[in-house]
Amino acid sequence: MSRVPDLVRRVRAFVEHESLWDCDTRLVAAVSGGSDSVALVHLLARMTSAGHGHLAGLVHVHHGIRGAAADADAAFVETLAARLGVAVLIRRVDVPARARAEDWSLEAAGREVRLECYAEALRTFRAGRVALGHTRGDQAETVLLRLARGTGPRGLAAMAPLNGWRVRPLLEVDREALRAWLRRLGEPWCEDATNADLRVPRNRVRAEVLPALRAVNPRADEALARLARLQAADVALLESMAEEAWIRIVTVHDGEVRLSWPALSDLPRALATRVTRRALQVMGLRGDEHETALVLSGTPRRHMDRVSMQRLGADVVLRRAATRRAVVAVPAGIGDLVLAVPGTVTIELAGLELSADGLQPVADVVLDDPGRVCVCADAAAGGLLVRSWRAGDRIQPLGLRGHRKLQDVFVDRKVPRDERPLVPLVCAHDGTVLWVAGHVLSERARVTTRSSGMVVLKIRRLGSARRPL
C-alpha cells in the first residue's frame, strides 16, 4: 500500500500546528532543483489542490557559480513548473561579483541575493509566503554549526518554522524520507556537486559529524531538532519575561539608557543578561558577552566602545560618549514587528512609537515633517512590518528611477555607521522597504490620483508628542 498520502497529511498537520498559512494564503515555493525543494513543490501542489492554500508560483535563483550545472538546474525547474502548470520566476545573479562589491563571503552574498529574489517573487505573484525546503537534517546541521561557534539559547533554537514571510513546512521531515517519496512517485531531482566539497563547514558536518553522532544515537537528527524546538520555546518565554522587566526598570530618553540597579540586580541572571544586552543594542553596541558583563558588574566605566557608563544614585546610566543627534530605534535583535493599518506599534525598549492612520482619501498633502509621511494604500495593503536594517537592503527613493543600497543612503544622509542598525524601516508585507523612517520614502509608496487611498505613517519618541525621529 502506498504511503504517499501519509507524508502529505504529516506535513499538513505540521503546517496547521505551527499556523504557517491558511486556506486563502498564496504561496511561492523556493526551488533549487535538489530533492528537498522538489519534494516541497509536489507536496504543496497536493496540499493546495485540496484547498489548503494556493501555489502561486515557483522561484529559482541562479547564483552564477556552477556554470553549465547551474544552467541545467534552472532548466529543470522551468520544466517542472511547466509540467505542473505553475508560473515560475528564474533570476540569474552574479553572486561572486556581489560578494566582491559588498566585501561579503560567498555564503552571505548568496543568502542576501536569495532573500531579494524571494521578495521579488512575492510581489510578482502577489503572494503572502515563501516556502523553503529546509528539513530536519538541515535543522540538525544548523544546531551543530552554531554550537561549534559557542552560541547561546537563541542560536540553538536554529531555524524557525515561521520567520516573517518565510515558512519551513518540512522541518520535521528527514531528507531520506523525501527522497524515498520522490522515487515512489517517479519524480527526478538534481544533485549539486558542490555539496561534496568538505571545505564548506555545513558539508563537513553533514558528511562527517552527523554520521559519527548517528553511530552513538541513530536518531541524532531527531534529537538535535528536538533540542532546537525546546530552546525556541524557552527563548520565547525568557524574551517575554525580559520585555516585562525592561518596561519596569529601564528608561530611554534622548539617547540615554537608565537602568534601576537594585531591580536589575534582583533579576535572575538569564533575564538580567537579556535586559542589559538590549540596553547596549539601543546604544548601538553589539551587546556581546564582554560588554554585557561590564554593565552587570555594576562598576562604572568611563568609556565602553563609544558609550560611557556611570552610577547615578540607584541607577546605572549609559550615554553615547560622543553624541550627534540622538537616534533611538529598533534594535536588530527583536525581529519583525507587525504594524496594522490602522494601528500603533510601541517599542518600549527603544523608546519609540510608530503609527499608521486608517485608510484616507487621496489628498493634495505636502508633509515636510521627517517623522510623518503619506504612503499609497496599495503599498500598505496586507499590513506593514517594522524592522531594522540588514546588509543588502535597497530602496528606490521617491522621484528616482533606480534602486539604491541603504548603505549608500546612510552615507549620503551622514548617518554614522554605528547608528545605522538603529534606524527603523517600515516595509510592505512582502519585505519591500517603503520608508527609512526620518530619512527616505520609497517610490513604491508614492501617492497618485490613481491610488485607492493613502495611509499616514508617523514616528515619535515616547514621552514626546512633537519630536520626530
Residues in the chain: 469
- The set of cell numbers assigned to 264 is 536589575
Span 92-132, pLDDT tens digits: 999 999 888 878 888 888 888 898 899 889 889 988 899 99
**Confidence (pTM):** 0.67
Span 62-92, pLDDT tens digits: 999 889 999 999 999 999 999 999 999 999 9
Mark 265-277 as b/e (b = at least 16 C-beta within 10 Å): eebeeebbbbbbb
Please tell me the distance from the alpha carbon of residue 375 to that of residue 443, in angstroms, as a whole number: 10
Measured on CA atoms in the order 114, 118, 119, 120, is the torsion positive or negative?
A: positive
Share of the chain above pLDDT 90, in %: 40
Span 290-316, pLDDT tens digits: 778 878 876 765 556 567 788 888 888
Across residues 405-417, what is the average pLDDT? 78
- Would you kindly state where each structural domain of the chain is located, as residue ranges? 4-230, 264-320, 332-461
- Structural element, H or E, at residue 100: helix 95-102
The fourth-level CATH superfamily of domain 4-230 is: HUPs (3.40.50.620)
